[in-house]
Structure 1
Amino acid sequence: MIQRVQSLYLLLAAGVSGAVSVFLPYGVNTSGTELYAYENPIIFGLYMFSAALSLLTIFLFKNRKLQFVLGRVNIILNFILLGVFVYWSLNVSGETVVSEKGIGMFIPVISIVLLVMANKAIKRDEDLVKSVDRLR
């Protein structure tokens, strides 16, 4: 049952978190060089953990409840990543490391939207299975 719509959403979320985060800068420092996620081990680790969790969730299609819970954990992880970016961008005491925002700061938002859509589809599948079991 890998051909379900939530698998597509989870695959897109894994692609956004894993691949796109490597190529798009999340900021520009004071000297004008772009900052990428692979240069910062904390940011890169959070992105890769989010991508791995999305890929793991795809293959847990037989256990929809665990799949739903892991989707929520991944959403929380992306909110933490978004919080780190917001903290860095709003930390204006003097000149900070990140002086300008990059497009890569919005990757967690895209990932959160995809994960919420996947969780809705998982919930819809779970409700469908429960309704079929009720008819027996």
Structure 2
Amino acid sequence: MIQRIQTIYLLLTVIISAGLIFVFHLWTDNEGTKIYALDNYLYLGLFLGSALLALTSIFRFKDRKSQFVLGRLNIILNFILLGIFVYQSLSLSGEINVSEKGIGILLPIFSIVCLVLANKAIKKDEDLVKSVDRLR
């Protein structure tokens, strides 16, 4: 059913992964230019891959098991993206010059939270269906 709470969480993940990357910068380099996810194809691909997995998971509402698996894969993808950001922020030169990390680095964390809540709701639905099937 497309009107469930997990759809809201997955839609929030799509908005975070595909929409907010254009609004928030990832960091500012030494020259003062803001670096967005659009400037690096790896970041752009991982963000859009996460959005595509969440969008695919929305329309897999009839098969809750595959929806749950897609959510887990999306969580792993966001952890990989977060790891790349942590590595990149730790290896940024600029301790002498001030380097500023942007709020865009936190976007995978927000996506992970929404995906965990969506998977929890999917699991709750699956348990409800199994309990009803036992009564038949």
Normalised-by-shorter TM-score class: over 0.9
Tell me the equivalent position of 2:113: 113
Tell me the equivalent position of 2:85: 85
Q: Secondary structure at the match of 1:76?
A: helix
How far, CA to CA, are the matches of 2:42 and 2:12 in structure 1? 22
How far, CA to CA, are the matches of 2:103 and 2:77 in structure 1? 19
- What letter matches 2:83 in structure 1? G
Q: Secondary structure at the match of 2:107?
A: helix
How far, CA to CA, are the matches of 2:91 and 2:39 in structure 1? 20
Tell me the equivalent position of 1:59: 59
- What letter matches 1:119 in structure 2? N
Task: State whether structure 2 residue 46 is matched by structure 1 residue 46.
Answer: yes
Answer yes or no: is the 8 Å Cα contact 1:26–1:102 preserved in 2. Answer: yes
1:91 to partner: Cα distance: 1.3
TM-score (norm 1): 0.95
How far, CA to CA, are the matches of 1:68 and 1:42 in structure 2? 25
How far, CA to CA, are the matches of 2:70 and 2:131 in structure 1? 23
Total equivalences in the alignment: 134
Answer yes or no: is the 8 Å Cα contact 1:89–1:99 preserved in 2. Answer: no
1:4-19 to 2 correspondence within 5 Å?
A: 4-19=4-19
Identical aligned residues as a percent: 59
Tell me the equivalent position of 2:26: 26
Task: State whether structure 2 residue 95 is matched by structure 1 residue 102.
Answer: no
Q: Secondary structure at the match of 2:84?
A: helix
Tell me the equivalent position of 2:70: 70
- What letter matches 1:6 in structure 2? Q
1:100 to partner: Cα distance: 2.1
How far, CA to CA, are the matches of 1:10 and 1:125 in structure 2? 15
1:95 to partner: Cα distance: 4.1
- What letter matches 1:101 in structure 2? K
1:21 to partner: Cα distance: 1.1
TM-score (norm 2): 0.95
Deviation >4 Å, runs of 4+: none
How far, CA to CA, are the matches of 1:38 and 1:133 in structure 2? 48
Answer yes or no: is the 8 Å Cα contact 1:10–1:54 preserved in 2. Answer: yes
RMSD (Å), alpha carbons: 1.4
How far, CA to CA, are the matches of 1:76 and 1:100 in structure 2? 27
Give unmatched runs, 5+ long, in structure 2.
none
- Give a deviation string over 1:63-88, Cα, whole Å, max 9, x none: 00000000000000000000000001
